[in-house]
Structure 1
Amino acid sequence: MNLHHTLQQTFGFSSLRPGQQQVIEQLLAGRSAAAIFPTGSGKSLCYQLPALLLPHLTLVISPLLALMQDQLAFLRRLNIPAASIDSSQGWEESRRVMQEVSEGRIKILMISVERLKNERFRQFIGRVPLSLLVVDEAHCISEWGHNFRPDYLKLPQYRQQLAIPQVLLLTATATPRVIEDMQQKFAIPKENVVITGFYRPNLQLQVLPVEEQDKAAALQQLLAEAPRSSTIVYVTLQHSAEQLAERLAAAGIPARAYHAGLEQDLRKQLQQDFMQGRVPCIVATIAFGMGVDKADIRRVIHYDLPKSIENYSQEIGRAGRDGNPSTCTLLGNRAGLNVLENFVYGDTPEPAAIRDLLGELQQAGPQWELMPLRLSNATNIRLLPLKTLLVYLELDGIIEPQYSYFADYRFKFIKPREEILAAFQGERQAFLRQLFDGSPQARSWCQVNFEAIRQRAGGERQRVIRALDYLHQQGWISLESKQMIEVYRVLQSGFDPEAEAARLHALFRQKERSELSRLEEMIDFFESDDCLSRRLAGYFADHQAPVRCGHCSVCAGRPARLPAPALPPLPAPAQLEQWCRALQQEDGTPLSTHSLACFLCGISTPLLNRLKARGKPGFGALERQRFGEVAQLLASPPAG
C-alpha cells in the first residue's frame, strides 16, 4: 500500500504538513523517531498513517483517558481498526479487545502506561507481534520535564522486555534537556529527532505587570473591550474561578467558571457551550484544556502565574488555531510565586518517611500487597512522590509489579433481583443466587463479601468480578469498586535501609532543585528584555524564530518587571511557638521541622490531614513566606 495513496484514501489529505513526512519516512524505513511539534500541528498522524503500513500492531501509550477516547473516536470514523483497553471497560469488553488483538484484527491498541504494571497483560502483549511503540506526551518520561509521570520511567525497560523494534515519541513541550533525556532513554539518534517551529506569528504575547489587588479590575477592563470574543482565563484555584466568573457576569461580561470540583455532566455541558460559542468566556483552572480544539479562541489570559513555561506554552497554544491574530496576556506579579515554590517542597519526602516505607517492604516477605492511600497515610508521603518511590525501587531491581485489584465492590439493583435470576438457568443461576445472598444489602447498596460467596458457591474472586461486570454492562446493576491494592514481587529485601533511604532522598532533592530552577526560568522569561516570541521558541529548541516578532510587549517597547508584594513581618518566637504547640501528634511525639514548616506554609501532607491541621490557627499563617526561610526559623534556637 502506497503512503500517499493511504494518506488520501483513508485520511482525506493530499499532502503532509512540515515535519510529518520526515517522521513517517523514518518509521517506514525501520528507524525510531521523536516528533517535537507544537499543539495542534498533527502529531497523531505521525503514528496513525504508519500503523496502517507497518506489518504488526502499533501499541500507543496515552496519559489521559479523555485523549485516548477522542483519538479512538476519530480513528473509528475513518474505519481504522483501533481499540483501547482502559479502566472504563468491564472484563468482557477487555477480553473481546484482547481476542481481536490476538487475531490480528486490530492495527492500533491504546493503553495507559499503568496497564503495563499488570503481569498478565504483559504476558498477553508479549505474545503479540508488535511493530511500533508510540509514547504520546513523551515529556512525561523525563524527571526534568513538566507533568512527570513516574510509571513512564519504566517504558524503556518494557520496550526491551517486549522486544518492540521501533519507538515514536510525541510531545509538544520538550526543552533541549528533556529531548536529550528522551533520546538517551530510547537510543534515538539526534538526526531522528524532528522539531518543527514553535513560533506562531499570529500570537501576540503580552506581559502586563499588575499589583495583586488591581488584577480583577484589569481583567474586567481587558474583557470589556470585546465581551463576546472567545476567551479562556486561567487561574490557579477553584474558588478564584468561581469569584471571578461571578464578578464578570455581574459586570455584564458573559463568563462561567470551570474547574475539577464541578460535576462531570456540568463540566461537559460548559465545554460544549464554550465550543459552540454559547458561553464566550471560561474562567478555568488547568482542568480545562484537553480536548479543547476550538479554532477561533481570540484571547488566552493568565490571571495567575502558570506552573511553568511548558504549561504556559500549552495553554496559549489553544489560541488562534485558525491562524488569525490572537492575544495571550499575563496579568503578572510575584504574589503567587512563593506558593508555587512551597508546593515543590511539599513533594519531597523526609528521610525518616522513606525509611518507614522501606521497613514495610522488608517485613512484607516474598509478596508485598499495598494500598497506596493507606501506605501514603502510614508513611506521611504524598501519593505522587509515593508512586515515584515505588518506580525507583522497581528500576533498582528491588521490587517487580505483578497486578492490582480492588479490595471492595458494591452494587445496587437496577432490574429486580428475581428478574435477573430468571434470565439464567441451572448452575449459572445457582451461582448468581449465591453471589446475591453473599452480598448483604444496606439500604440500596449491596456489599460484596468474596469470602462468604467462596464458602457458599466455591466462587473464586475472578469469577465473581466477571459476573458483576457482565450484569453491569447489561444495565441490570450499578457497580462500584474502590480501594485499589497493588501487588509486587519482592526481588531483594536484604538491602541496607539507611543507605537506600539516603539514595532515594538524594534523587528527590535533585528533582526539587530542578523544579525550583524551572520557576526561576519562568520569571526570567516573563521579565525578558528580548523578544518574547523568540525566547519562547528558543526554550523549546527552535532557533528559527525571527529576532524580533514585532508584536509582543517587548517588541512594543514594554519589557515587564513583575511587582513583588511586600512580605508581612515574620512572627515573634512566642507566636510561632503557640501555633506549633497547637499541633500535637496523638502519642505526643514532636513533629519534624519539615512537617511544621509545611503546616505554617499551608502545605497539606498525609500527617497534617490526619491531625486536622487545616482547622488550627497556624495553618497557612506563613504561606506568603518562603518555605526554606520558615524551616530555618523553626530550626534556629530562640535568641537569649
Structure 2
Amino acid sequence: MPDHATDDLLHVLRQTWGHAQFRPLQEDIIRSVLAGQDTLALLPTGGGKSICFQVPALARPGLCLVVSPLIALMKDQVENLRKRGIKAEAVYAGMSHQEIDQTLDNCVYGPVKFLYVSPERLLTDMFRARVGKMKVSLLAIDEAHCLSQWGYDFRPPYLRIQELRELLPGVPCMALTATATEQVRQDIVEKLHFGASHRVFQQSFARPNLSYSVLSTEDKLRRLLEVVRGVGKDKTSIVYARTRRQTEDTAAYLQQQGVAAAPYHAGLPAEQRTRTQQDWMQNRTRCIVATNAFGMGIDKPDVRLVVHLEAPDNLEAYYQEAGRAGRDEKYAFAVLLQGPNDADELRRRTQQSFPPLDTVRRVYQALANFSRTAVGGGELVAFDFDLQQFAETYRIRALDAHNSLRTLEREGFVQVNEAVNNPARVHIPIDHTDLYCFQVANAQHDKLIKSLLRFHGGELFSGFQRISENSLAQHLRLSAVELRKMLVFLHRSGIIQFQPRHESPQALFTTPRYDADKLPLDQKHLLQSRDLALHKTDAVIRYAAGSRCRQQLLLEYFGELDAPACGVCDVCLARKKAQQAAAPTPELRAQLLALVQATPQTPRQVLAHFTSAQATPVTELLRELVELGELRYAPDGRLVG
C-alpha cells in the first residue's frame, strides 16, 4: 500500500472540491481506510461524511462501491460527482433490467469511479455475477445506522452487506453515520464483520454554535411567526411539518404575513419541487416549509433557523433535522414548538404505527392485487404506487395502509419510495454502422437520431443518458406527443432503449411475493420494535419537558455523559438571565445599609420593602453583609449597622 502524503490528499481535495483543508477527523478517517483498515466514522450532520470515502477512492485505482438507502440522495451525489468530471453511476428501484445491465457493464469495463447501489439490489444474481469482476477498492456504507435493529431506521436488506463482503475479500469497508448510540455502534461493527484492527472515529455530537429551544404555545403559527421575525425574515430557514397539508397551510400563513415562504413535499409535481428547492438555495425563497424528507444531502451552510412544528418520533431524527442549521459554524437556532397535548399525541401516533397483524396481512394482499403480482413472483419489480388511490380502491383507512406498509418495510417484505424525478433516458445498443443503415432506410427518424447524437454524442452508445423531451420537441418543432411516439417506435424497433420520464412514488416486493396468510411475520420481533419505538418516543418527550441544558440531554442520549452545559440553549440562557437578575448591585447594597442603619429591622421586615423578584438577591446580600461584619444581629434578632 503506497503512503499517501498529506499534500497528495489535499491536492485531491482542492482539485476536486475546492476546499483548502480537511475538517476535523476527515484526514484521520481517510488515512485509516487507505491503510486497509475497516473504519466506522461518526460525524454529525454537515460534518462532511461523503468526503471521507470520495477522497480515498480518488487517491488510488479502482472503483468505490457505495451502499445508500435513499434514492434521492444517491441521485444527488452522482450528479454532483459528474459535474466535477468524475464518472459515477447508480443502481436503484425504478430502473429497467436493460439499464441496470448496461450500468453494471460500464462498472466492469469502463472508467467508473463510484457505483451507488440501494441495499436490496446488492445480491441479485445480476449484481453477484458482475461485482466480482469489478476492481473494487473500497466498500462504503452510508447511513450505516440502518444496519441495527436498535437504531431508528432499520432496513433488513442492509444485513446482507456481510454477504457482499465475502465476494470482496481484502476490500476495506467504511461505515458512515451521523447518529448512533453506543448500542448501535457496536451493532454496526458486528454486523459488518469488521476486522480486529478496525478503527472507530467519533466527532462529538456537540454543536457549540447551535442554540436549541423548546417553546410551549397554544398557537403555533403565531409563535412560529415571532420566531422567524426574531431571527430575521430575510434569513434562511427550514420549517418542518408532519403532513403535506400542514406544509401548505403554514407556508400560506407565512406568505400572508410577508415572509418569502414556500411549501415542499413529495406530493407536489417534480418541476415545482425542483423550482422551490432552487429558489431556496439561491435565496429567492427564504423559508421552506417541508416534510421531513427535505434536506437530505442538501449542502446549504447558511441556514440560520430550523423549526419543528411537531416533534419527530425519535431524537436521532430530531438531531439530524435540527443540525441542518448553522453548518457554516455561525450562530443558528433549532426550535421545537410544543403544544399542550403534543406528548400524548406523539405516544398515540407511535402506538398506531404498529397495527394488528391481520391488518398488515390484509394490506399485503391488497398490494399484491394492486400490482397484479402472483405468489412467488414480483421480487424487486417496481411499480407506480399512490397511497391515497390504493387505500380508496381497497377500502382501507389511509393511516392503516401507511402504518402497515411501514411495518412490512421494517420486516423486509416491501419497499415504498417517495416520488423521485427520473428524467427520460436513452441508450443506443447497436453499433454506428447499423444505426447509419437504419437512418438511410428511415428518413422520417433521421433528424431525431441526429439531434440525439448532437446533444449527447458517443455517450449514448456506452450507457443510458438523460434527455429532455421538451427541448428535443422544440428543437425538432414537434409536439411532445409526436416526439414520444417516435421514441417509442425506435425503442420497439431495437434502435434505442428508451426509459420514459416518471415521477410517481413507487413500491416493490423485496422478496418473492408470499401468500398473505403464510407471510412469516415475527410477532415477538414486532412487539420488541414497538417497545423500542415507545422508548425512543419517551426520550423525545423527556427532552421537550426537560429543565436541563438541551444539548446535554441530546449528548447523553448519544453516550456523551460528561458534556458541559452549552450556554446557548433556552434553558442555559434562562438560567443566565435569572443569575444576572439575582446578582446584587452596588445600588442595592447601599440601599440595604442605609435602611438598616436608619432603623434596625428583622430580615423579614427588610424584605417587606422590596418586590418578590428581589427577594433572592436581598437575602443573599444580607447574608454577605453579616459575614463581612458590615451588619450584625442584635439580641432581639434585628439587624443593625
| Fold in common (TM above 0.5) | yes
CA-to-aligned-CA distance 1:241-262 (integer Å, 9 cap, x gap):
2222222222222222222222
Q: Hey, what does 1:510 align to over in structure 2?
A: 528
Say if 2:120 and 2:510, in contact at 8 Å, map to a contact too: no
Q: Which amino acid aligns with 1:236?
A: R
Matches within 5 A, 1:11-160: 11-12=13-14, 13-87=19-93, 94-103=100-109, 105-160=111-166
Query: Aligned to 1:318, what secondary structure does the other structure show?
Result: coil
Q: Hey, what does 1:187 align to over in structure 2?
A: 193
Q: Which amino acid aligns with 1:470?
A: Q
CA gap of 1:62–1:468, structure 2 versus 1, over 3 A, is farther
Say if 1:153 and 1:391, in contact at 8 Å, map to a contact too: no
Q: Hey, what does 1:216 align to over in structure 2?
A: 221
Structure 2 gap ranges (5+): 416-423, 425-433, 446-480, 577-641
Q: Hey, what does 2:10 align to over in structure 1?
A: 8
1:202 aligns with 2:209: yes
Q: Which amino acid aligns with 1:23?
A: I
The CA deviation at 1:54 is 4.5
1:176 aligns with 2:176: no
- Partners of 1:480 and 1:180 in 2: how far apart? 38
Q: Hey, what does 1:530 align to over in structure 2?
A: 548
- Partners of 2:225 and 2:346 in 1: how far apart? 25
CA-to-aligned-CA distance 1:279-298 (integer Å, 9 cap, x gap):
11222221321243222211
Query: Aligned to 2:522, what secondary structure does the other structure show?
Result: helix
1:333 aligns with 2:339: yes
Query: Aligned to 1:320, what secondary structure does the other structure show?
Result: coil
Say if 1:255 and 1:279, in contact at 8 Å, map to a contact too: yes
CA-to-aligned-CA distance 1:538-568 (integer Å, 9 cap, x gap):
322345642x211111212369xxxxxxxxx
Query: Aligned to 1:206, what secondary structure does the other structure show?
Result: strand
Say if 1:256 and 1:281, in contact at 8 Å, map to a contact too: yes
Say if 1:131 and 1:164, in contact at 8 Å, map to a contact too: no
Structure 1 gap ranges (5+): 393-400, 402-410, 412-420, 433-443, 449-462, 560-640
CA gap of 1:164–1:9, structure 2 versus 1, over 3 A, is same
Deviates more, 1:220-229 or 1:294-303: 220-229
Say if 1:6 and 1:49, in contact at 8 Å, map to a contact too: no
- Partners of 2:523 and 2:295 in 1: how far apart? 34
CA gap of 1:215–1:190, structure 2 versus 1, over 3 A, is farther
Query: Aligned to 2:191, what secondary structure does the other structure show?
Result: helix
The CA deviation at 1:319 is 0.9
- Partners of 2:244 and 2:504 in 1: how far apart? 28
Q: Which amino acid aligns with 1:550?
A: G
CA-to-aligned-CA distance 1:227-276 (integer Å, 9 cap, x gap):
22222121112222222222222222222222222211111111111111
Q: Hey, what does 1:458 align to over in structure 2?
A: none
- Partners of 1:7 and 1:464 in 2: how far apart? 45
- Partners of 1:192 and 1:321 in 2: how far apart? 26
Q: Hey, what does 2:559 align to over in structure 1?
A: 541
1:557 aligns with 2:577: no
Say if 2:413 and 2:511, in contact at 8 Å, map to a contact too: no
Q: Which amino acid aligns with 1:525?
A: Y
Say if 1:210 and 1:331, in contact at 8 Å, map to a contact too: yes
Say if 2:311 and 2:336, in contact at 8 Å, map to a contact too: yes
CA-to-aligned-CA distance 1:444-464 (integer Å, 9 cap, x gap):
79999xxxxxxxxxxxxxx98
Q: Which amino acid aligns with 2:551?
A: S
- Partners of 1:266 and 1:549 in 2: how far apart? 40
- Partners of 2:126 and 2:220 in 1: how far apart? 54
Query: Aligned to 1:314, what secondary structure does the other structure show?
Result: helix
The CA deviation at 1:137 is 1.0
Matches within 5 A, 1:440-589: 467=494, 470-472=497-499, 501=520, 504-543=522-561, 545-546=563-564, 548-557=565-574
The CA deviation at 1:315 is 1.4
- Partners of 2:503 and 2:208 in 1: how far apart? 49
CA-to-aligned-CA distance 1:286-317 (integer Å, 9 cap, x gap):
13212432222111111212232111111111
CA gap of 1:294–1:137, structure 2 versus 1, over 3 A, is same
Q: Which amino acid aligns with 1:539?
A: Y
Query: Aligned to 1:298, what secondary structure does the other structure show?
Result: strand
- Partners of 2:569 and 2:504 in 1: how far apart? 51
Q: Hey, what does 1:609 align to over in structure 2?
A: none
- Partners of 2:208 and 2:574 in 1: how far apart? 18
- Partners of 1:35 and 1:466 in 2: how far apart? 50
CA gap of 1:304–1:99, structure 2 versus 1, over 3 A, is same
CA-to-aligned-CA distance 1:370-391 (integer Å, 9 cap, x gap):
68989x9999973332244346
Query: Aligned to 1:295, what secondary structure does the other structure show?
Result: coil
The CA deviation at 1:94 is 4.4
Query: Aligned to 2:212, what secondary structure does the other structure show?
Result: strand
Which of 401, 404, 408 is equivalent to 1:386? 408
Matches within 5 A, 1:194-343: 194-211=201-218, 214-225=219-230, 226-333=232-339, 335-343=341-349
Q: Hey, what does 2:594 align to over in structure 1?
A: none
- Partners of 1:349 and 1:119 in 2: how far apart? 34
Query: Aligned to 2:150, what secondary structure does the other structure show?
Result: coil
- Partners of 1:268 and 1:517 in 2: how far apart? 37
The CA deviation at 1:367 is 4.7
- Partners of 1:3 and 1:507 in 2: how far apart? 49
Say if 2:360 and 2:407, in contact at 8 Å, map to a contact too: no
Query: Aligned to 2:174, what secondary structure does the other structure show?
Result: strand
- Partners of 2:501 and 2:89 in 1: how far apart? 25
Q: Which amino acid aligns with 2:529?
A: K
- Partners of 1:97 and 1:6 in 2: how far apart? 31
- Partners of 1:58 and 1:510 in 2: how far apart? 36
- Partners of 1:343 and 1:446 in 2: how far apart? 48
Say if 1:151 and 1:391, in contact at 8 Å, map to a contact too: no
Say if 2:313 and 2:350, in contact at 8 Å, map to a contact too: no
Q: Which amino acid aligns with 1:531?
A: C
Say if 1:350 and 1:505, in contact at 8 Å, map to a contact too: no
CA-to-aligned-CA distance 1:202-233 (integer Å, 9 cap, x gap):
1111111223xx22221222223322222212
The CA deviation at 1:517 is 0.7
Say if 1:144 and 1:177, in contact at 8 Å, map to a contact too: yes
Say if 1:60 and 1:108, in contact at 8 Å, map to a contact too: yes
Say if 1:196 and 1:542, in contact at 8 Å, map to a contact too: no
Say if 2:264 and 2:289, in contact at 8 Å, map to a contact too: yes
Deviates more, 1:245-254 or 1:175-184: 245-254
The CA deviation at 1:515 is 0.6
The CA deviation at 1:510 is 0.5
**Largest Rg, 1 or 2:** 2
- Partners of 1:172 and 1:339 in 2: how far apart? 28
So what's the TM-score if we normalise by structure 1?
0.67
Deviates more, 1:512-521 or 1:225-234: 225-234
CA-to-aligned-CA distance 1:474-512 (integer Å, 9 cap, x gap):
xxx77899987758579xx9xxx99x95x7111111101
Deviates more, 1:549-558 or 1:273-282: 549-558
The CA deviation at 1:64 is 2.1
- Partners of 2:349 and 2:375 in 1: how far apart? 36
The CA deviation at 1:141 is 1.7
- Partners of 1:44 and 1:71 in 2: how far apart? 9
The CA deviation at 1:142 is 1.7
